[in-house]
Chains A and B, each alone.
Chain A
Amino acid sequence: MQRRTFIKTLSYLGAASAFPFLSARGFAAISSAIPVAELPELKGELTLYLGRGEGGLYEDVLDAIKKRNPNFNLRIRRGPTAALANMIMAEAKAGVSQADLFWAVDSGAIGQVVDAGLAQKLPGDLTQQLQPEFRFSHWAPISGRIRTLPYNPDRISAAQIPDSIMALPDTDLSIAWAPAYASFQSFITAMRLIEGDKATTHWLKGMKNKTKQYAGELGVVMAVERGEVDLGLANHYYTLRLKSGKPDARLALAFTKNDAGCLINASGVLALKEGKTATDFIRYLLSKEVQTYLSTEAYELPLAGQLPTPAGIPNLAQLSPPNVDLTKLADLRPTINLMRKAGII
């Protein structure tokens, strides 16, 4: 219970910045995030395919990078993440490759493109900047999002929420979820990898009668806030963003322990063509300034260096995310089949 009180205190005080970013497991040497001032100037032109807009926030980051590098021209195509991944593969097949970089909000889409052999290997000193469990040879995670249980404190107390995601079907809570949403499916994939197919099917079937379906996870969080349900399953930032627009929102966050319920997934970037400018551009995304901005303004978890988590989220030492290889989350097909079999989608 102490932990939850702590989380609550944090979300009221917004004092998370006082706590250093410490990894729960790895204490391997992580350099502190590199300030933009130490990065080489970007020159030439790059084409970026940006999966999902994320409003003006990623845009602000990109604008700032452009402004800092007057001799650099960045061309951006925005689209739904899955559509852009399909597009990149279609272009590669036709030999008309347009993009230098692909930045996607969903590591599953990144995995698809990496598996198709279209991503370039990244230099080692670049991946070294990331937390040890977020180092991959062909793509760089940029920001993290953690699975959470947003709940309505007017309807239930924190004590009624189990510590284990697998215990959720045995409670008498009413629950909102968005099974068609990519992050949810990644979470089920993680559950499948940790608990096995049988337990996951059992869990899905047990949840089926307790849940109300929504189109996306913002809808889930809104439904919790409106009191349509007691509790929801959603990425952390939807709650923080809703609260930033509506500070008196009836919303609080709970976290499960060491299971798929508190999976940390990541948005990520990969280079489709070789070139110094492309890798230097990725360095900018991992810079101290960009990482801090994404954390304070978009409420995402910074993954490079040792930066604080956004206000409202405890630092990672307080959380216990499961140990799952993010690239394995791209294996969606068995998850979809399982969800169909359970009658969820």
Chain B
Amino acid sequence: MTRWPLSYTISLVIALLAFFPVIILFALASDSVQMFDIRNLEILSNTLLLMLFTAVGAVLIGVPLALLVTYVKIPWRKFWLILLAAPLALPSYLGAFTFYAAFGTGGEIENVTGIATPALNGLLGSSVIMALYTYPFVLLSTRAALSSLDASQVYAARTLGMPLLSSIWHVVLPRIRNGIAAGTLLAAMYALSDFGTPAIMGLDTFTREIYVEYNSFGLSQAAMLSLQLLVVVGLILYLESKVKGSQEPPGRHLTFWPKPWQANLLLLTTLPIVMLAIVLPLAIFSLWLWREGTGNFDFTYALNSAYASLLAAFFAVILALPLAYAAIKGTMGRIMERITFIGFGIPGIVMGTALIYAGLQLPFLYQTLALLILAYVLRFLPLAVGTIRSSTESLDGSLVNAARVLGASPKEAYQRITLPLTMRGIVAGGALVFLEVMRELPATLLLGPIEFETLATYLWRVYEAGYFGRAAIPGLILIFISALGLALMFSTERWNSVELNEEEQR
């Protein structure tokens, strides 16, 4: 490294900010000697297997769906994209709970239809549910990577007689490995830090140890165990950084034009996903709504959710840009980018408490909306950084160099070449942050302004009390608002876009 670019300085400040709550955890953990009991290998292996199965499941669902909504000309393509991304806005504990209530002997499916279903629990149950509520990470990051690919190589392969599926396998997928990996990393980290789903499914994981400590007022023990969890986080961060995609100039967009029956058949295959991840929970809640009657729901909760999420998505993207840019500049930048990921692997309630301590350092901001948004941004920065970085990475430097040779300043080259070409990644990153904030709970409860109620906190309240019928309407509104937010974001996607890349403008 010969010089210290501007993006490094900005990134360093942001990375330190994002890392600050983790430093607080170190301070909180300092008076604890609690170590993870290595004899308890079952819990460790449960945790690692859950992480692995979730990652595999999210890829198996997310990548084909990304191919479908990016390359295949289907009617209402944006609608399907938004619908298929929406499960990310539903808290996974609600999904897990409705799955528990629906399946098995005496479950709601049997009560209503008379069809006996096997109970869903343990490692299998947790993995299925976790994959259903994390695949949008992979879907959105893969889509961002796919849409900047040049189709010519696929056409060449097809012309030379390669069947369609193997040309996707051999020609498309290897070039977007980093995009897939960026989403998979997030799914794996989510699986690592989530508490509700494995608890409801009766699976003992690392997070359960942490919650038992936290709830029995062992904050320092919980902090210590959370820090030990970071060993696993570090390992997957390292593995993901080894995945490389290809660098190439953007080109023509690949499009498949299926016959109507083929398109319908393809859409039909997505039906089980939509049914399980969205329709089933809402149907179960509606059933209970019908049984119990409704509660006092206030529509301002939905507005609060929407604007807090949009603000967080906006600022997360702004902060993520220099980090993503620094990450492809050199090793130091890469390290700073990785640092921002660490907080995402820490269980929410422990992180929430660390953020209280951080927030108390700024008494004038404590319990204001500004602090809450800052907490969201710092916590979910990796969602934006990952997708933006993976779409920036695949950019071929020659275009920027050409612009520079033609007399553009670095700033102009960034604004006119790099930024438009990474727009899909930026929107995907913003969308991920938006959806994740919609369902975020601990920080909202602990750091928000007093009386600041969102859809997620309301859902939690009725869930805690056992009044599930009252979750039906807010659950539906959560999906609806998420869809609106996504529609808004995806509409900015074409802003300043490169013509070559759009099949609509051939």
Contact = CB atoms under 8 A, between A and B. Distances in A.
Interface in A74-97: 75-80, 82-87, 90-91, 94, 96
A56 B296 contact: yes
A91 B366 CA distance: 10
Contacts of A98: 366-367, 450
A91 B446 CA distance: 12
A194 interface: no
B216 A185 contact: yes
A259 interface: no
Given A53-B464, A245-B292, A214 B202 contact: yes
A214 B451 CA distance: 32
Contacts of A165: none
A180 B199 contact: yes
A125 B199 CA distance: 44
B215 A226 contact: no
B442 A55 contact: no
Given A185-B216, A226-B106, A83 B360 contact: no
Interface string B185-228: 00000000000100110100000110111111111000000000
B360 A94 contact: yes
Contacts of B202: 212-215
A52 B460 CA distance: 9
A260 to B, nearest CB: 17
Interface residues of A, number: 54
B465 A180 contact: no
A219 interface: yes
B352 interface: yes
Contact of A80 (B349, B356, B451): B349
A291 interface: no
Interface in B346-369: 349, 352-353, 356-357, 360-361, 363, 366-367
Contacts of A96: 360, 363, 366
A215 B205 CA distance: 12
B114 interface: no
A227 B446 contact: no
Contacts of B349: 80, 83
A78 B353 contact: no
A53 B217 contact: no
Contacts of B100: 219
A56 B211 contact: no
Contact of A241 (B106, B218, B466): B466
B101 interface: yes
Interface string A212-255: 11110011001001111000000000100110011000000000
A335 B217 CA distance: 12
B54 interface: no
B291 interface: yes
Contacts of A185: 216
Contact of A226 (B104, B208, B363, B445): B104
A86 B445 CA distance: 13
B275 interface: no
A47 B451 CA distance: 10
Given A77-B450, A213-B202, A55 B363 contact: no
Contacts of B215: 80, 82, 180, 182
B462 interface: yes
A88 to B, nearest CB: 10
A21 to B, nearest CB: 25
Contacts of A86: 217, 219, 353, 356
A321 interface: no
B338 interface: no
Contacts of B464: 52-55
Contacts of A57: 465
Contacts, number: 133
Contact of A333 (B196, B216, B292, B467): B216
Nearest to A222: B101
B352 to A, nearest CB: 7
A333 B462 contact: no
Nearest to B219: A86
Given A85-B217, A332-B216, A76 B467 contact: no
A336 B213 contact: yes
Interface string A106-150: 001100100000000000000000000000000000000000000
B105 interface: yes
Contacts of B361: 94
A345 interface: yes
Interface in B449-481: 450-451, 457, 460-462, 464-467, 469-470
B353 A90 contact: yes
B174 interface: no
B260 interface: no
B291 A82 contact: no
Given A213-B202, A336-B212, A226 B366 contact: no
B105 A112 contact: no
B470 A112 contact: no
Interface in B239-267: none
A345 B212 contact: yes
Nearest to B100: A219
Given A180-B212, A215-B200, A215-B202, A55 B217 contact: no
Given A76-B450, A219-B100, A336-B216, A87 B470 contact: no
Contacts of A83: 214, 349, 352-353, 442, 445-446
Nearest to A77: B450
Contact of A55 (B209, B352, B461): B461
A215 B105 contact: no
A106 to B, nearest CB: 9
B295 interface: yes
B107 interface: yes
B360 A91 contact: yes
A226 B211 contact: no
Nearest to B292: A245
B33 to A, nearest CB: 13
A180 B214 CA distance: 11
Contacts of B217: 82, 85-86, 108-109, 112, 330, 332-333
26 contacts: A47-B450, A53-B460, A55-B461, A55-B464, A55-B465, A55-B470, A56-B462, A56-B467, A56-B470, A83-B214, A83-B352, A85-B217, A87-B446, A90-B353, A91-B360, A213-B202, A215-B196, A219-B200, A227-B105, A228-B104, A228-B106, A245-B288, A245-B291, A333-B217, A336-B216, A345-B212
Interface of B: 37, 100-101, 104-107, 196, 199-200, 202, 208-209, 211-219, 288, 291-292, 295-296, 349, 352-353, 356-357, 360-361, 363, 366-367, 442, 445-446, 450-451, 457, 460-462, 464-467, 469-470
Given A83-B445, A226-B104, A332-B216, 12 more contacts: A56-B295, A82-B216, A83-B214, A85-B217, A86-B356, A87-B353, A180-B208, A215-B200, A226-B107, A238-B466, A245-B292, A336-B218
